[in-house]
A and B are shown apart, each in its own frame.
Chain A
Amino acid sequence: MQATKKKIDIDYTKYDFKDEIKYVYQSKRGLSREIVEEISYWKNEPDWMRRFRLHSLEVFLKKPMPTWGADLSEINFDEYIYYIKPTDRKGKSWDEVPEKIRQTFERLGIPEAERKFLAGVGAQYESEVVYHSLREDLMKKGVIFVDIDTAVREYPEIVKKYFGTVVPPEDNKFAALNSAVWSGGSFVYVPKGVKVDFPLQAYFRINAESVGQFERTLIIAEEGASVHYIEGCTAPVYSEDSLHSAVVEIIALPGSHVRYTTVQNWSKNVYNLVTKRAVAYEGAFVEWVDGNLGSKVTMKYPAVYLLGRGAKAEILSIAYAGAGQHQDTGAKVIHVAPYTTSNIVSKSISKDGGRTSYRGLVKVQKGAVGVKSTVKCDALMLDEFSRSDTYPYMEIDEELVSIGHEATVGKISEDQLFYLTSRGLTESEALTLVVLGFIEPFAKELPLDYAIELNKLIKLEMEGAIG
C-alpha cells in the first residue's frame, strides 16, 4: 500500500462549458477613470454613486498591493475587462432571460433549486444580474430582494444610508477596487419582525475570458428579522486568469438573525479576493458559512463587528487546496460590546501541493466584559507536498473575558487507512470517507442539496488520488 501520488485535477465538466454570447456592451481591457465613468453611465446612476466610484478609484490607485497573505504578484490590473453587459433585459421569469444564458443556469441546476426550496433567486452573468425573483408572499410582507443596481435607483434612501458603511473603500485595496467598478450583486431588505423561511440564493457566473466580476451585496435585517442568503459561484477554465473581487455588507439590527452561506467553486485560474463584513447590534446573530473549493488564490476573512450587547457571531469555514491553489482564508471578530460571543470553526484540506492558511483575528475592546470566544482550526494534509499554516491573532484589551483557542494539524494516519481498507474499502474510498468525515461539521450546516453537491465535489477531488 505504498502511497504513490498521481496528480488529478477536479473534474470541471459540470462547470467548464463556455457560451458563445454577443454582449450588449464590453469595456476595453484595463482600468481608468474613463472606464469607471462608462460603467456609471451604462447604469444610469445618481450622481452620488458616480462620485463614490471615482473617489474609490483614487483610493485604489493609492493603496499598495497587500504583501501579506497569498502571492498576488501575477495580478496585472491592465489585463482585465472590468465590465460586460450581457443583455439589455432583466428577467422576472426565466423565459425573459436570453436563451443561451438561461441554458447555462439550467445546466447549473438553478431554476430547479428555485422550484424546490428557495424563496428567491438572483442570477448574475458577467457583470449584470440577468434574473431576479422573490416569492410573492414575501414581497407583500415588504421583503426586498433585487439586484443592487435596481436598488440604487428604486430604494435610494436605504441604499444611501448603508452602502459603503460597513466596508468603506478605504478598508483595503480590493474593497476600493470593488467600490470603483462594482456591478451586480444583491440587495436584501427584511422588515422588522419578518422571518424569511426559505433561503434566498444568488448565483454568480463568469463566462468570458479575463473578465473581472465585482458584485456588491448589501443585506439589511431590521429588528427581529431573519434571513438566510446563499451564494454559489463558478466559471469555466480559461488559459488567462480572471478576477473576482466582491464586497458583502450585512447590517443585523437588534434581535435579528442573518446567515450567509457561500460555496465557491471557481475554476482554478480565478483570483478570488473578497471582503465580507457584518455589523451586529444588540442581541443580533450573524453566521458566515463559507466554503472555498475552487479558485487559484482566495483571500477572504468573513468578519463580524459585535456592536450591541449580547450579539453573537458564528463563522464556520472549510477550504480545500489542490495543486496550484492557495486558500488564504479565516475569520475576524471584533467584540466591541459586553456579553458578546463568537465561535469560529475552520477546517482545511490540502493535497497535491496545495496550500491552505488560516488567518484569523479575535479582538476584544476595553469595556467589553463577559465576552466569550472560541476558535478551533483543524487542518488535514493529505500528502507531504502540501502545506498548511495557521496565523491566529488575538488582541484582548479586557480582562473579564473567556477566550479559547485550539488548532490541530493532522495527516490521515496509516492506521486509519489500514483499518478502513481492512473491511473492504479501497484506499481512495477510505480517504474520501475520512475527508468527508472531516468536513461533516460544515456539510451539515448546508441545505441538503448543497451538502450532496459538496460531497460529490470532494469525492471527485479524492478519487484516484492514490494508486
Chain B
Amino acid sequence: MPTLEVRDLYVSVDGKEILKGLNFAINKGEIHALMGPNGSGKSTLAYTIMGHPKYKIESGDILFEGKSIIEMKPDERAKLGLFLAFQYPVEVPGVTLFNFLWKAIQANNLDSTSPRVSKLPKSVIDYKRELIDRVKNLNMSEIFIYRPIGVGFSGGEKKRMEILQMAMLKPTIAFLDEPDSGLDIDSLKTVADVVNSIRSQDLGIVVITHYQRILNYIKPDFVHIMLDGRIVKSGGPEIVEKLEQEGYAWIRETTAESAD
C-alpha cells in the first residue's frame, strides 16, 4: 500500500474542471518530480491534497496509508504528516514565523502516538535551538524568524521559509511547489542541500517544477509529466533529459499517439 495514493481524481475550481482523472502514488523514502507546463494543474493537485476549500473534488479519492482523507480539514491532514511548501506563500502581518511555527508544532504534538511526532521539539527551548540551527543551514539571518510571516520578504526568502517549515514539521509526505522559481543558483543549491539533508526513509517528497534545473541537485527516483489535468507519462530520471532536449511537444505527440 502506497503512503499516499490519488485515484482517478477529478477536481474543479469555480466550476472549471482542472484535474481530469489523475492517478498518482508515492511511498515514504521516495522522491518524485512532477513536471508539466504552466497551467497543467500541478498546484491544483497539491492544494487539493492539502484540502484547500476552493478546490472541489468531483470524483475520485485521496488515500493516506490506505484511508480516505478527502473529508478531512487541512489541519487534520497536516497532523497526519502531509505538508505543502507553497508556490506563492502568503503574508500574515503581525504574526512572526517564530510564534506561528511553535503553535503549529504544538498542534502537531497533540497526537503523541505518531512516530513522526516523537521527532518534533517538545519544549520551546528545544524548538528555538533547532529552529536557529536550521535557519543557519538555509543561509538566512535569524532576524527573519522574528518578522511577520512573508511581509517584505523577497521571493527567494519566502521559498526558504517554506523549506524551513518543512524541516521543522518533519512531514511524512511533502509537496514542494516550485521551490526553485525566483531563486538564483546559490540559493537553489542551498535549498537543495537542505532538502537532501532531510531525505530519509520516513519522508516522501514530490518536487513540482517545470524546469529540470533543480533536479540536477535533488535527484528524483521517479518523474511524472502532467498535461491538461492528467499525468501522461511516468518513469525514471531519464525522462527529464529527454524533456530537456525535446520539450513538452514531444510528450504531447506521444500521448496523442497513445490515445489513438
A residues near B (Cβ < 8 Å) are: 1-2, 413-416, 418-427, 429, 433-434, 436-441
Q: Which residue of B78, B90, B95 contacts A424 across the interface (Cβ within 8 Å)? A: B78
Asked whether B165 lies within 8 Å of A423 as measured between CB atoms, the reply is yes
Asked whether B100 lies within 8 Å of A423 as measured between CB atoms, the reply is yes
Q: What's the minimum C-beta distance from B231 to chain A, rounded to whole angstroms?
A: 23
Q: What's the minimum C-beta distance from B14 to chain A, rounded to whole angstroms?
A: 12
Known: A421-B74, A421-B78, A424-B79. A2 touches B53 (CB 8 A): yes
B252 at the interface (CB under 8 A from A): no
Map CB proximity to A onto B89-112 as digits: 1 under 8 Å, 0 otherwise: 110111100011101110110000
Q: Which residue of B73, B93, B94, B104 contacts A423 across the interface (Cβ within 8 Å)? A: B104
Identify 15 residue pairs between A and B in the complex whose beta-carbon atoms are under 8 Å apart, listed by A's number.
A1-B73, A1-B74, A2-B53, A416-B90, A416-B92, A419-B86, A421-B78, A422-B51, A422-B77, A423-B165, A424-B105, A424-B108, A427-B73, A434-B94, A438-B94
Query: Chain A: which residue is nearest B95 at the CB level?
Result: A437
Q: What's the minimum C-beta distance from B16 to chain A, rounded to whole angstroms?
A: 17
Asked whether B94 lies within 8 Å of A436 as measured between CB atoms, the reply is yes
B residues near A (Cβ < 8 Å) are: 50-54, 73-75, 77-79, 83-84, 86, 89-90, 92-95, 99-101, 103-105, 107-108, 148, 165, 169
A421 to B79, CA, bound (A): 10
Query: Chain A: which residue is nearest B47 at the CB level?
Result: A418
Q: What's the minimum C-beta distance from A418 to chain B, rounded to whole angstroms?
A: 5
Known: A1-B73, A424-B79. A429 touches B51 (CB 8 A): no
Q: Which residues of A contact B92 (CB under 8 A)?
A: 416, 419-420, 433-434, 437
Query: Chain B: which residue is nearest A419 at the CB level?
Result: B90
Q: Which residue of B50, B75, B84, B94 contacts A426 across the interface (Cβ within 8 Å)? A: B75
Asked whether B103 lies within 8 Å of A433 as measured between CB atoms, the reply is yes
Known: A414-B53, A433-B100. A421 touches B73 (CB 8 A): yes
Asked whether A425 lies within 8 Å of B94 as measured between CB atoms, the reply is no
Asked whether A422 lies within 8 Å of B50 as measured between CB atoms, the reply is yes
Query: Chain B: which residue is nearest A2 at the CB level?
Result: B53
Q: Which residues of A contact B52 (CB under 8 A)?
A: 418
The 6 closest A-B pairs by CB, nearest first: A437-B94, A437-B95, A1-B53, A440-B94, A423-B104, A424-B107
A414 to B54, CA, bound (A): 9
Q: What's the minimum C-beta distance from A3 to chain B, rounded to whole angstroms?
A: 9
Asked whether A413 lies within 8 Å of B90 as measured between CB atoms, the reply is yes
Query: Chain B: which residue is nearest A378 at the CB level?
Result: B93
Known: A433-B99, A433-B100, A437-B95. 10 other contacts (CB 8 A): A418-B74, A420-B104, A423-B75, A423-B83, A425-B100, A427-B73, A427-B75, A429-B103, A439-B94, A441-B94
A423 to B168, CA, bound (A): 11
Asked whether B90 lies within 8 Å of A415 as measured between CB atoms, the reply is yes
Q: What's the minimum C-beta distance from B55 to chain A, rounded to whole angstroms?
A: 10
Query: Chain B: which residue is nearest A415 at the CB level?
Result: B90
Known: A438-B93, A440-B94. A422 touches B78 (CB 8 A): yes
Q: Which residues of B contact A419 (CB under 8 A)?
A: 86, 89-90, 92
Q: Which residues of A contact B83 (CB under 8 A)?
A: 422-423
Query: Chain A: which residue is nearest B73 at the CB level?
Result: A1
Q: Which residues of A contact B107 (CB under 8 A)?
A: 423-426, 429
Chain A CB within 10 Å, residue with most, of B51, B52, B86, B105: B52
